[in-house]
Amino acid sequence: MSAWEIATIIFEILGGMGTFLIGMKLLSENMTKLAHGKLQKMLNKTADSRFAGVGIGAAVTVLGQSSAFTTVMVVGLVNAGIMTLFQATAIIMGANIGTTLNAWVIALGGSDITVVFFVLAAVGVLMTMFSKKERIATLGSVIAAFGIIFVGLKFMSGALTFDRGSEAYAAVSNVLHVIKNPMLLLIIGILITALVQSSTAVNAIILTMVSSGLTIGDGGNATLYIIIGSNIGTCVTALISSLGAGANAKRAALIHFLFNLFGAIIFMTVLVAWPAFSDTVLNGVIPTGGMIFEGRDMAPGMQIALFHTLFNTVNTLLFLPFVKGFVWIAEHLIREKKQDEAEIELYSELDERLLRSPSVALGYMYQETGKVFSYAMAELDRAFEAFLKKDVSSAEEINRRNARLAAANMKGVSYLVKLTAQTSVIEDEQTISDLHYVLNDIMRVGELADNVTKYTRRTVEDKLVFSDEFLEMLSAMYEKIQHLYAISLDIFLKKDVSRLGELDALEDEVDSDRHELIHAHINRLNEGKCDPTNSSVFINLVGNLERAADHITYIAHSVEEGGREAYLAKV
């Protein structure tokens, strides 16, 4: 067998694997688009039920077409504090079951169904090219991706299909027969999967080999050891993803690794002690010789898919009662460092792992933006209270908080820019645009709080005195602003547009209070009851508070159709 023939086989395998991986990536991306909003709803239903978690994990993995996708998302959600480790563990177990569907699809790669998918691929491309409806075009991309996957499988299958008596077949068989040690085969599965970061790709190669009549090692259980190794190797993606994240994110990735490691130990023990497992169990369920297509026996590939399903399903059933045990081990192996409140970064939970599903990322962007909104309002509360007490010492703290707010704003804007690059869904693009305005409104609330501290300093330095009547009216106005904030935050987080009427009525009252305060002040000036030097602070302070109320109102209106711009057009 010449060097050129060997190189040709290698390049055809690599080309087929590359085509397969591109197809898987397109399938995952477009399935996620097609399931727009559904992934977020599923992950939001994380309950304390183990079985519900397993079901959610399996469903999300089927929709996302990748257990790595689900696991990385779970690591991100745990890091954000949205999901507990208990919930994450059950979902990870379900993800392992969900990914077994891919093995069955690959096992069909060389059968008659391949022709059907080739035809569907052409239909999918036409749908994508000519459909004016985004959802139909996305569906076309999904269908086309399936076709690309089977083209890749066909490439690999063709590269590994030899005449049994040929020199090429003998050469490849000799190479595959070299390694027979179960531990070495396990390690090969781990390393190759860690390298390509896709257990599906490794399974595709193995399934194609066995379906082409090639035998790894001495046959028997040899191939199964590599499959077990691929399940451990796939944990590398989540482990890498957790680097630099919080303790809980690292724990979630560790739990994923421990689950597959413990399962591997159990199955390796069984397979080593039972050398005839493959012949007795797998061949007993799916006998060889019963599924011949184009001279190739499809049964060996189907047996590998069956084993992959058994491995993940049995492990889930075995370990599901011990979810709390996995959490206990992870918490004791990875300790959490205590952080001072001043060191906690706003928007620290905006995990880039969530960008893999824009709808999920947007959902949690809303939640974290709500926290930043609360932070800005607390800043305004602090500044107003300091004004009433004539306390200038709070100015330094307000400045520090404003600096943190500015840093958070930059981080939020950067995240939204990345989100824009990840989505092509029109609804998401509109939401991202609205959130940009919201971030600006939150910054304005913080800046207005800083203005209030300046009026406090001016009041103290110039020894200004305000009447009790004015301070009472001002406090009553500010109480309405606080109530306005509470309603606005509730509307923003729940997207409950039914309360917008209540919000607008209260904002009108704040506007009326401002007019009343200024009118009363002018009357007192005309009657000589008020010092004219108070006017600058008085009018600017009241005006700044009313402007804060405006920005608080804008934030609430960002959730209605058309967002902030539609609201401003109406008023």
What pLDDT is stored for residue 342 in this prediction? Answer: 44
Going 238 to 240 to 246 to 248, the CA torsion angle's sign is positive
The residue ranges of every structural domain in the chain are 3-333, 357-570
What pLDDT is stored for residue 544 in this prediction? Answer: 94
Other Cβ atoms closer than 10 A to 486: 14
Assess whether pLDDT exceeds 80 at residue 377: yes
Residue 352 and residue 418 in contact, taking contact as beta carbons nearer than 8 Å? yes
Give the model's confidence band at 505: pLDDT under 50 very low, under 70 low, under 90 confident, else very high: very high
Mean pLDDT, rounded, for 405-412: 90
What pLDDT is stored for residue 37 in this prediction? Answer: 57
Query: Cα–Cα distance between 562 and 557 in angstroms, integer?
Result: 9
Mean pLDDT, rounded, for 192-215: 78
Query: Cα–Cα distance between 71 and 84 in angstroms, integer?
Result: 14
Dihedral pair phi/psi, residue 293, rounded to 5°: -140, 125
Question: Could you tell me the two tokens for 462?
Answer: 């110039």
Residue type, 50: R
| Whole-number percent of the chain with pLDDT over 70 | 82
SS3 407: helix
Give the model's confidence band at 340: pLDDT under 50 very low, under 70 low, under 90 confident, else very high: very low
What pLDDT is stored for residue 503 in this prediction? Answer: 94
Give the model's confidence band at 343: pLDDT under 50 very low, under 70 low, under 90 confident, else very high: very low
Strands (E), 224-295: 292-293
Mean pLDDT, rounded, for 517-522: 82
Query: Cα–Cα distance between 351 and 418 in angstroms, integer?
Result: 11
Beta-bridged to residue 292, according to DSSP, are: 297
Closest C-alpha to 196, from 221, 174, 229: 229
More confident of the two residues 182 and 212: 182
pTM score of the predicted model: 0.68
DSSP string covering 52-95: HHHHHHHHHHHHHT-HHHHHHHHHHHHHTTSS-HHHHHHHHHHH
Mean pLDDT, rounded, for 375-393: 92
**C-alpha to C-alpha distances, 307 to 331, 431, 451, 517, 557, nearest whole angstrom:** 32, 44, 68, 77, 54
The CATH number that domain 357-570 falls under is: 1.20.58.220
What pLDDT is stored for residue 322 in this prediction? Answer: 93
Closest C-alpha to 12, from 144, 205, 178, 198: 205
Give the model's confidence band at 119: pLDDT under 50 very low, under 70 low, under 90 confident, else very high: confident
More confident of the two residues 402 and 114: 402
Q: Which residues, 6+ apart, have CB-to-CB distance to 552 below 8 Å? A: 377, 441, 445, 481, 484, 485, 488
- Polymer length of the chain: 571
Mean pLDDT, the chain, integer: 81
| Whole-number percent of the chain with pLDDT over 90 | 30
Mean pLDDT, rounded, for 381-391: 92
Per residue in 129-169, pLDDT (tens digit) is: 888 787 788 888 878 877 777 777 777 766 666 555 566 55
Q: Which residues, 6+ apart, have CB-to-CB distance to 422 below 8 Å? A: 355, 356, 358, 361
**C-alpha to C-alpha distances, 261 to 227, 254, 517, nearest whole angstrom:** 13, 10, 70
Give the model's confidence band at 483: pLDDT under 50 very low, under 70 low, under 90 confident, else very high: very high
Give the model's confidence band at 446: pLDDT under 50 very low, under 70 low, under 90 confident, else very high: very high
Closest C-alpha to 507, from 524, 491, 495, 520: 491
Per residue in 51-101, pLDDT (tens digit) is: 888 888 888 787 666 677 677 778 777 876 667 888 889 989 998 898 888
More confident of the two residues 181 and 135: 181
Q: Which residues, 6+ apart, have CB-to-CB distance to 544 below 8 Å? A: 448, 451, 452, 455
Closest C-alpha to 530, from 540, 542, 520: 520
Residue 278 and residue 224 in contact, taking contact as beta carbons nearer than 8 Å? yes
Query: Cα–Cα distance between 345 and 400 in angstroms, integer?
Result: 13
Going 323 to 328 to 333 to 337, the CA torsion angle's sign is positive
∠ CA 541-543-548, nearest 5°, is 95
More confident of the two residues 348 and 254: 254
Q: Is 226 exposed, middle or buried (0-12, 13-18, 19+ CB in 10 A)?
A: buried
Assess whether pLDDT exceeds 60 at residue 266: yes
Residue type, 263: G
More confident of the two residues 290 and 204: 204
Per residue in 275-301, pLDDT (tens digit) is: 999 989 998 888 876 665 555 667 888
The H or E element containing residue 378 is: helix 358-389
What pLDDT is stored for residue 319 in this prediction? Answer: 95
Closest C-alpha to 464, from 413, 540, 402, 409: 540
Assess whether pLDDT exceeds 90 at residue 510: yes
Per residue in 18-58, pLDDT (tens digit) is: 887 787 777 767 766 666 556 556 665 655 678 888 888 88
